[in-house]
Structure 1
Amino acid sequence: MNRESAPMVEYDTAGENIGVLRLHNGRDNMVDHAVFLDLTEFKQWLHHNPFKGLIITGNGRNFSKGANIERIRAYKDCPEILQKELNEGKKILSYIEGLPLITVAAIEGACFGAGLEIALSCNYRLAAEQALFSFPEITLGLLPGFGGTIRLPNLIGQRNAKKLILSGDMITGKEALRLGLVDETTGKREALSKAVDLIEGLAYRYTARQKECFDQIWDQPETDCWPMYEKESRYFTELIKTMDI
């Protein structure tokens, strides 16, 4: 196993030619910055490794408990700076979403807020049955600001997405499977190994030439949603001005 370190993330490998991006920031893997990785460094890592798939997971017990609310509060008097940072972070998620690779979020423990929004950028989500999911922003006077208001309805439908976002309720992996938020549930501490199995099970079916064709077809950046992502960032930062701190 090869490991390199970067702020808030670790670059790792698993299985046969599978990249692993680990969220690594304390016990809860809090997202301190919307720009949670260096995009240039990330692109170079992918360029220099012939990966057939990418897994995003959390280091330790949790995938991520979401954004660091104390840091968000610090932007109350300068929300335009956070708005710019959110848009830069969304470029990272859009890049992940458009990768010509099989991408899987392997989820254990808590997957809240910004952490869940990172997971939504993947093709597939595998989660332990007792993993916990939530968009708690509504309880803070905010809304999801990292692409969740767009990606979640696209995945599970507007009706279910509204209920999850507006209630702030916490659901288990089993309920997330029922809603279509995750594709498969696993036993405790099995999400990563199951993600490896999923990628290897899909990737072995095609030839090198077929992969080249798929790469050309799938390597198209998604631009249609970008005005919606920018609007979400603007509304998120407007709500910060009204936060009770």
Structure 2
Amino acid sequence: MQDIDTSETKLTTFPDLTGASVFITGGGSGIGADLTLGFLRQGAKVAFIGRSDADAFVRQAERETGNKPLFIQSDITDLEALRGAVAQAEAAHGPVTVLVNNAANDQRHETLEVDEEFWDWSTSINLKAYFFACQTVIPGMQKAGGGAIVNMTSISYMMGNTGYPIYTTSNSGINGMTRSIAREFGPDKIRVNAIAPGWVLTQKQLDKWATPDALAAHLERQCLKEHLSPEDIVGATLFLASSASRMITGQSLAVDGGVVVSG
């Protein structure tokens, strides 16, 4: 590994990610956009799926990195479309050897107001799609001799946060799923880990929930007194996707400035 400077940031290079076939859910906005850029800068072949048009981002990414991602516009909750997107990525880039389950929706809701329809909608995005994305890429990873899956969860469930109980339920479920799949497919050299970001100030968070009082209260809980930005999640993801973490699996890594502690 070595550190290199880019026009945007300084990051560590992982040579084994050069040419790797990477598939990212929700890779065109928020944290996902920074993840896409991070892998492109490593020289990876990146495909990402998202509901919203991302053609402008694709052009921007190619300008910034010299490496063009494959954008597949579709809905991850449509499982046939999700499987089709993975097949399209594999046709273009070869078997997916790195999966980043990133897409999520933390829409606020109250326990006593939730109905079955909302439960199904929320879990279909925040948990169900994660499982079936893993299921879809694993056969290709087995044939390729191994791979890495990184599931994005959140520290929200560790903190016992209120205001989005189905989201925190899904976060906790992601960790259980991560551990079980890691054990099941470890013999195939497939590593499965989770990253639990803290409060990352994406544009959505700034527009909807990041009031001055809320920001101050959260920063008070952090050991490191800087708010997190999407690019702060990139380095940990690249590490867990690369052979630098070859003997790390079944783990959940909090990237939160020191809000929660484990061990």
- State if a TM-score over 0.5 links the two structures: no
Higher helix share: 2
- Work out which structure has the larger RCO, using CA pairs closer than 8 Å and 6 or more positions apart in sequence: 1
Sort the TM-score into its range (normalised by shorter chain). Answer: 0.3 to 0.5
- What TM-score does the superposition give when structure 1 sets the normalisation length? 0.34
